[in-house]
Chains A and B, each alone.
Chain A
Amino acid sequence: MSTPMATADTDIVLSVRNLSIEVPGAKGPVRLVDDVSFDVRQNEVFGIVGESGSGKSLTMLAVLGLLAEPLKIVSGSIKLRGRELTSLSFEQMRSIRGKTMAIVFQDPMTTLNPVLRIGKQIGEAVRLHNPGMSSRQVRDRVIELLQLVGIPNPEKRYSQYPNEFSGGMRQRVVIAIAMANEPDLLIADEPTTALDVTIQAQVMSVLAEVRERTKAAMVLITHDLGLVAETADRMAVMYGGRIMETSPAKTLFSNPNHPYTAGLIASLPRVDREVKELYSIPGFVPDLANRPRGCVFHPRCAMSNGRIPCREEKPLLHALRDDSAVACHFSEETAAWRQAQEKAVQIVDREQIDERDVLAPILKVDNLTKDFQIGVGLLRSSQQLKALRNISFEIPKGRTLGLVGESGCGKSTLARVLLRLLDASGGDVYLNGEPFMNLRGTRLRAKRRDLQVVFQDPYSSLDPRMTIHEVIGEPLRIHGRYDPQRIDELLAHVGLTPDAGRRRPPEFSGGQRQRIAIARALALNPDVLILDEAVSALDVSIQAQIINLLKKLQEELGLTYVFISHDLSVVRHISDEVAVMYLGRIVEHGAVREVFESPAHPYTQALLSSIPRPDASEGEGRIVLEGDLPNPLSPPSGCSFRTRCFRAVEECARAEPKLEPRTGIDHLSACLFPGKPSYVLADMVGEAAGHAERTNV
């Protein structure tokens, strides 16, 4: 196969050629990575984007020589600085791993060994490749590394355990381990996916800094198109184990060459505009045991229309102009498809929507509080954790309230209190005008029908041993309304056929399971659905399908949603109103357009500015919040956000600002100095559609 990248110069750090990886399956070997080739050059960031199962992580694990049994490289070559790696043994690779190349894994909560001190874990990486170093020298180097990645008090942190670090700090430790021997190649495998957006911005800037210092090349593996477009120099899009296209990262959004990439971009909700319906790539991620003949993407492709070449012939990656390459027989049609797609997009006319008759509030939350007693013991004085503080809002029937905030802000606690899975410490909730918090026993169970929930993880929220029919039928049985026809009807509502009822959860993909969870939630005809990160665990192409389904169901059934999410773009797309939470409080609340177009609270502004965007040059106009969430057991005096706020003054420490209308702001905010920094205004409002995707998928 021809190599798409013409350069053959000496500054190539990593060169992968025709790499294929297989795993034995019931019906012969299954090919998970198929004929993948790319180069990574000195000093550049090479992005690999793809959904789950695309083979992006496997490819890089193969580079590290860490493919676990029974995965096997069946063909191809991997050269690091010209040295062939595929023929090296595990032992021979040891001198390269951690020295010439290193990796930062996804989840900093599990990547570090919980029972070993941080200093020891970083020190191992140093000592291993510098056997001559004395203990003193190793220790000094570790302290230096901790400083390099911006960990305060390195001397003290040295002897602490991972559980004493926050997620963002742990990821800095993982980066310190990777940088211990200043590798030529740094692989970052979804380095910020498990982190909050404001922490993501911190970690990405640490990565940029250490890279700057060591001039290492970096491979950034991610599912986040915005992040890769912002961070990478060049990138590859993978699907079904193959590279669909490679291109300069900056032109990814403006000029995708492959219909899959174009489809992905169209599936993303955007923070700068509101469309009626998202485009969604039909179908599911392919089962690689039954890899489609011809182009692996053709069954889901909007352009293929079943044309013979797509069905019969594997398209090879061929070079286009300006350092791009694409694996599609009809790539010249992509631009036209995109234009047609863009034309078909209906921008929502908010004014028209806002003029709808506002119905009576169906859910009214009044001064809700929730305190947890921490450390209740025989002899220990207990501490109070204020998880929810004076939460008040109303949702009219048929509308959606989006609740945004980072982990620890109390949004999931709120969901559990609303569902009466936790008892409130104070305040009231009215459902359909009736108080809900004081109900007990039978009356509570009867009223609960009106309020249902869909959770984040479709893998653990369905009992794997029940059939789908039983799963959906369970709420009906409990309330004595079992009716098999109703179950088929519910399946049809969420786009599944009745025969799905006979199967069990493990036979379904994540997106299908989430449909089943929605059908179960709808079984009792609820008025209000609480969607707790209901689309967060799904791939982009599937996420768009579920969001569209939720919008359709809302219209058909007059449902009211409480949509909890950390993803601002999705919240913008689905909500009528949005409330931003920080440390147990709502700090800003208003109509979705008002909050997104003229955010008043500095926290909201920081959240919006943390969303990776391809069009910003590095660091420009970005608010990077410093530090972590304060300890909720001893929150700062006055405004709880002031410790991280870029606008805080002395006055902020005195009293907590109330959530109220403020001069010059068209919605509620809890800040003494509300208003927008100039660049937010310029960025958010002034831009035409086209290449302004800012999304955190």
Chain B
Amino acid sequence: MTTFLIKRVLQSMLTVLGVITAAFFLVRLAGDPAVLNLSAEASGEDIARVREALGLDRPMIIQYFDFIWNVLRGDFGVSLRQNVSAMSLVLERVPATLELALTSFVLGLGLAFILGIIMRMTGSRFVRQLIMWIALGRQAIPIFSFGLVMILIFSVWLKWLPSLGRGTLSHLILPALTLGTYELALYLRLFNASLATEQRQDYVRTAYAKGQGKIQVLLGHMLPNALLPLVTVAGINLGLLLGGTVVTETVFSWPGVGRLIVQSVSQRDFPVIIAGVFLISLMFVVINLIVDVLYGLLDPRVRMV
């Protein structure tokens, strides 16, 4: 287990290195930061001065190693717009992103779990189809239009919930619901298919032959096995939620990392972009690492290897 962990941690570090390397060069592809950040009337001399100040006059490869060295020391540079450390700007936004991502994640997974069990337990074709159609219908609507419709219904017409911003629990409900239900159909389909597969397994027959009831077999035997594929997909999804909630954050004016990165892109604030991308990729690999460990805990066969 420890060797496995060390191996995975090293792999994860390589992944993060790859991501920030790609980010560094992609940002450079967008053009010369010095030019992009100066007004159109700036003279050639001004540009040269800024380039020198930012170290942009050196060869690209030197700049890259300089950048990596700084990252290793935890220095992501200073925001070109706000003149504060880029990383501190990003870190400021992390709690908001975590709050939204985790809430919607738990909401989506929990809903899928409960609905999946209901679908299995009733054994009714009608109930199964109904739930599935609702979930699919939800997924067919893009996040921004669903979000706007939610705002229209609950904020504008019913005036039950605030339409934007962050603060109280009531601020969280609409964005979390929008984001959380989006992957519901995927989870449900997967969970239902994997429960159906488990139902055909021999050990289920063994459990019935012992005299166990349907609910006992479902919860005690099929569930631990059926959760395995769900854990994998949920892990990837949580990573996506942490990084890719841009649309939801924008629709509901949620002050998260995603919105910060989008703002920084439009303002060409490169250090902030890179700091944000770094943090998101770090969270992504950490979550995947946790999923792998969790998988091992759930399945003794994986643990042995």
The reply to whether B209 and A116 contact each other, CB–CB distance below 8 Å, is no
The reply to whether B206 and A66 contact each other, CB–CB distance below 8 Å, is no
Q: Give residues of chain B (35-78) contacting chain A, Cβ–Cβ below 8 Å.
A: none
The reply to whether B225 and A378 contact each other, CB–CB distance below 8 Å, is no
Q: Which residues of A are interface residues toward B (Cβ below 8 A)?
A: 64, 66, 90-91, 94-99, 102-103, 105, 107, 110-116, 124-125, 128-129, 161, 163-164, 174, 177-178, 180, 377-380
Contact code string B1-20 (vs A, CB < 8 Å = 1, else 0): 00100110010000000000
Contact code string B274-305 (vs A, CB < 8 Å = 1, else 0): 00000000000000000000000011110010
The reply to whether A112 and B300 contact each other, CB–CB distance below 8 Å, is no
Contact of B211 among A111, A129, A161, A164 (CB under 8 A): A129
The reply to whether A378 and B3 contact each other, CB–CB distance below 8 Å, is yes
Contact of A105 among B10, B205, B225, B298 (CB under 8 A): B205
Chain A residues with Cβ under 8 A from B207's Cβ?
Answer: 113, 124
Chain A residues with Cβ under 8 A from B3's Cβ?
Answer: 377-380
Q: Give residues of chain B (137-188) contacting chain A, Cβ–Cβ below 8 Å.
A: none
Given A110-B201, A116-B224, A378-B10: A103 in contact with B209 (beta carbons within 8 A)? yes
29 interchain pairs (CB within 8 A)? A66-B205, A91-B213, A94-B213, A96-B211, A97-B210, A99-B211, A105-B209, A107-B202, A110-B201, A111-B202, A111-B203, A111-B206, A113-B221, A114-B225, A114-B299, A114-B301, A116-B224, A124-B207, A125-B210, A128-B210, A163-B304, A164-B300, A177-B206, A178-B209, A377-B3, A378-B6, A378-B7, A379-B6, A380-B3
The reply to whether B205 and A124 contact each other, CB–CB distance below 8 Å, is no
CA distance A112 to B209 in the complex (A): 12
Instruction: Return the chain B residue nearest A107 by Cβ.
Output: B202
Check: B208 CB closer than 8 A to any chain A CB.
yes
The reply to whether B210 and A116 contact each other, CB–CB distance below 8 Å, is no
Chain B residues with Cβ under 8 A from A113's Cβ?
Answer: 203, 206-207, 221, 224-225
CA distance A111 to B211 in the complex (A): 15
Chain A residues with Cβ under 8 A from B201's Cβ?
Answer: 110
Question: Chain A nearest CB: distance from B208 CB in Å?
Answer: 6
**A110-B203, A115-B225, A115-B299 known; 13 other A-B pairs, CB under 8 Å?**
A66-B208, A91-B213, A97-B209, A98-B209, A110-B202, A111-B205, A112-B206, A116-B221, A125-B210, A128-B211, A128-B212, A174-B206, A177-B210
Q: Which interface residue of A97, A102, A115, A124 has the most chain B CB atoms within 10 A?
A: A115
Instruction: Return the chain A residue nearest B209 by Cβ.
Output: A103
The reply to whether A115 and B300 contact each other, CB–CB distance below 8 Å, is yes
CA distance A75 to B212 in the complex (A): 26
Chain B residues with Cβ under 8 A from A64's Cβ?
Answer: 209
CA distance A116 to B212 in the complex (A): 15
CA distance A90 to B216 in the complex (A): 14
The reply to whether B202 and A124 contact each other, CB–CB distance below 8 Å, is no
The reply to whether B300 and A94 contact each other, CB–CB distance below 8 Å, is no
Chain B residues with Cβ under 8 A from A379's Cβ?
Answer: 3, 6-7
CA distance A28 to B302 in the complex (A): 46
CA distance A389 to B136 in the complex (A): 58
Question: Chain A nearest CB: distance from B235 CB in Å?
Answer: 18
CA distance A70 to B299 in the complex (A): 32
Instruction: Return the chain A residue nearest B214 by Cβ.
Output: A90
Given A105-B202, A110-B201: A124 in contact with B210 (beta carbons within 8 A)? yes
Chain A residues with Cβ under 8 A from B210's Cβ?
Answer: 97-98, 102, 124-125, 128, 177, 180
Instruction: Return the chain A residue nearest B11 by Cβ.
Output: A378
Question: Chain B nearest CB: distance from A384 CB in Å?
Answer: 18
Chain B residues with Cβ under 8 A from A102's Cβ?
Answer: 209-210
Question: Chain A nearest CB: distance from B193 CB in Å?
Answer: 18
Contact of B208 among A97, A99, A115 (CB under 8 A): A97
Question: Chain B nearest CB: distance from A616 CB in Å?
Answer: 32
Q: Which interface residue of A90, A111, A113, A161 has the most chain B CB atoms within 10 A?
A: A113
Instruction: Return the chain A residue nearest B6 by Cβ.
Output: A379
Question: Chain A nearest CB: distance from B121 CB in Å?
Answer: 14
Chain A residues with Cβ under 8 A from B7's Cβ?
Answer: 377-379
Instruction: Return the chain B residue nearest A187 by Cβ.
Output: B209
Instruction: Return the chain A residue nearest B299 by Cβ.
Output: A115
Instruction: Return the chain A residue nearest B202 by Cβ.
Output: A110
Instruction: Return the chain A residue nearest B2 by Cβ.
Output: A379
Chain B residues with Cβ under 8 A from A174's Cβ?
Answer: 206
Chain A residues with Cβ under 8 A from B212's Cβ?
Answer: 94, 98, 124, 128
The reply to whether A94 and B211 contact each other, CB–CB distance below 8 Å, is yes
The reply to whether B202 and A164 contact each other, CB–CB distance below 8 Å, is no
CA distance A90 to B10 in the complex (A): 53
Chain A residues with Cβ under 8 A from B211's Cβ?
Answer: 94-99, 125, 128-129
Instruction: Return the chain A residue nearest B305 by Cβ.
Output: A375
Question: Chain A nearest CB: distance from B241 CB in Å?
Answer: 27
Q: Which interface residue of B206, B214, B225 has the most chain A CB atoms within 10 A?
A: B206
Question: Chain A nearest CB: distance from B159 CB in Å?
Answer: 49
Contact of B304 among A66, A116, A124, A164 (CB under 8 A): A164
Given A66-B205, A98-B210, A105-B206: A163 in contact with B301 (beta carbons within 8 A)? yes
CA distance A116 to B222 in the complex (A): 11
Q: Give residues of chain B (212-240) contacting chain A, Cβ–Cβ below 8 Å.
A: 212-214, 220-221, 224-225
The reply to whether A161 and B300 contact each other, CB–CB distance below 8 Å, is yes
CA distance A410 to B299 in the complex (A): 28
The reply to whether A115 and B224 contact each other, CB–CB distance below 8 Å, is yes
Among all A-B residue pairs, the 4 with the closest Cβ atoms: A98-B211, A161-B300, A98-B210, A110-B202
CA distance A164 to B213 in the complex (A): 28
CA distance A107 to B205 in the complex (A): 12
Chain B residues with Cβ under 8 A from A66's Cβ?
Answer: 205, 208-209
Question: Chain B nearest CB: distance from A156 CB in Å?
Answer: 15
Question: Chain A nearest CB: distance from B145 CB in Å?
Answer: 40
CA distance A178 to B213 in the complex (A): 17
Question: Chain B nearest CB: distance from A379 CB in Å?
Answer: 5
Chain B residues with Cβ under 8 A from A125's Cβ?
Answer: 210-211
Question: Chain B nearest CB: distance from A181 CB in Å?
Answer: 9
Instruction: Return the chain A residue nearest B201 by Cβ.
Output: A110
CA distance A70 to B3 in the complex (A): 49
Question: Chain A nearest CB: distance from B181 CB in Å?
Answer: 29
CA distance A99 to B203 in the complex (A): 18
Chain B residues with Cβ under 8 A from A95's Cβ?
Answer: 211
Question: Chain B nearest CB: distance from A638 CB in Å?
Answer: 29
Instruction: Return the chain B residue nearest A97 by Cβ.
Output: B211
CA distance A645 to B299 in the complex (A): 36
CA distance A116 to B300 in the complex (A): 8
Question: Chain A nearest CB: distance from B28 CB in Å?
Answer: 33
Chain B residues with Cβ under 8 A from A161's Cβ?
Answer: 300-301
CA distance A98 to B225 in the complex (A): 23
CA distance A66 to B205 in the complex (A): 8
Chain A residues with Cβ under 8 A from B214's Cβ?
Answer: 90
Instruction: Return the chain A residue nearest B208 by Cβ.
Output: A66
The reply to whether B205 and A112 contact each other, CB–CB distance below 8 Å, is no
CA distance A692 to B210 in the complex (A): 39
Question: Chain B nearest CB: distance from A403 CB in Å?
Answer: 29
Instruction: Return the chain A residue nearest B7 by Cβ.
Output: A378
Question: Chain B nearest CB: distance from A190 CB in Å?
Answer: 12
Question: Chain A nearest CB: distance from B301 CB in Å?
Answer: 5
Contact of A114 among B6, B205, B208, B300 (CB under 8 A): B300
Question: Chain B nearest CB: distance from A270 CB in Å?
Answer: 33
Question: Chain A nearest CB: distance from B3 CB in Å?
Answer: 5
Instruction: Return the chain B residue nearest A126 by Cβ.
Output: B210
Instruction: Return the chain B residue nearest A64 by Cβ.
Output: B209
Instruction: Return the chain B residue nearest A102 by Cβ.
Output: B209
CA distance A110 to B225 in the complex (A): 13
CA distance A378 to B6 in the complex (A): 9
CA distance A163 to B203 in the complex (A): 14
Chain B residues with Cβ under 8 A from A107's Cβ?
Answer: 202
Chain B residues with Cβ under 8 A from A378's Cβ?
Answer: 3, 6-7, 10
Given A98-B209, A124-B207: A163 in contact with B300 (beta carbons within 8 A)? yes
CA distance A161 to B203 in the complex (A): 14
Question: Chain B nearest CB: distance from A242 CB in Å?
Answer: 25
Chain B residues with Cβ under 8 A from A180's Cβ?
Answer: 210
CA distance A128 to B217 in the complex (A): 12
Instruction: Return the chain A residue nearest B225 by Cβ.
Output: A115
